[in-house]
Amino acid sequence: MDESSTPSILYKITLLRHGESEGNAFGYYQGQNESPLTPVGEAQSAALARRWHAEGVCFDRIIASPQARARRTAEIIAEHLNAPLEFDALWMERDCGLLTGLSHEQAEASYPRPAFIHPYLHIGQTGESVWESYLRAGRGVQSLLDRTPGRYLVVAHGAILNMAMYAILGIAPQANFNGPRFRFRNTAFANLLYNPAGHEWTLESINDRAHWPDENDDYPRTEYHKE
């Protein structure tokens, strides 16, 4: 049988953070509010789409957060790669509660970081706890593996993608945000393989943004002003 006609037994999963948004550019907590892409974010998304097209990258399906910044990033890529696109609220960013829309300085003044943050503490008083976002990310990973093995692109947000990495690698959330962090700059992505026959995850790459090299550090600051 021709190898190209043999069904894949592996999941090839790419986790992608959206392009630069207005919240990124102006430095405020976005959470689950609507913050559209900036012109730079549009350009980043198009640059990645062109790169993947040139490299022959294809996806069986693109699954994106329905929030504007992730939605638009996914739409640009789907158009360039002619890939089917759907939206799933499981991949929305962590709800930041009363921090939403505040600059980091305003957040520190109005809602100072507690001396101790356990994983069940609601962020911004009314937002998601880290544990809640971890469980939601786990459901997102489960939803991918409920599909037929294939190549999937998830377009989402920095905090929820970090929790997805925790879920995949079997890392429990810790107090005071201790533990590893997985860097996702704007339109940076991670490539993973999953072999269900042996429950084997392989992390092939992380924070890949070769299509947009620059010196600006746009890593999201969403953890009670810790970054």
CA-based R_g, the chain, Å: 17
CATH code reported for the domain at 9-208: 3.40.50.1240
pTM for this entry: 0.91
Instruction: Report the chain's terminal Cα–Cα distance, integer Å.
Output: 53
Rounded Cα–Cα distance for residues 176 and 190 (Å): 25
106: Cβ contacts below 8 Å, ≥ 6 apart: 28
Residue 186: predicted pLDDT: 97
Phi and psi at 147, nearest 5°, equal: -85, 170
Task: Name residue 164's amino acid.
Answer: A
Q: Mean pLDDT for each 10-residue chunk of the chain (227 residues)?
A: 57 98 92 94 98 98 98 98 98 96 93 94 96 98 98 98 97 94 96 97 97 68 42
- Segment holding 72, helix H or strand E: helix 68-81
Virtual torsion, Cα 78, 82, 83, 84, nearest 10 deg: 90
Residue 213: predicted pLDDT: 85
Rounded Cα–Cα distance for residues 74 and 155 (Å): 6
Residue 216: predicted pLDDT: 59
3-state secondary structure of 71: helix
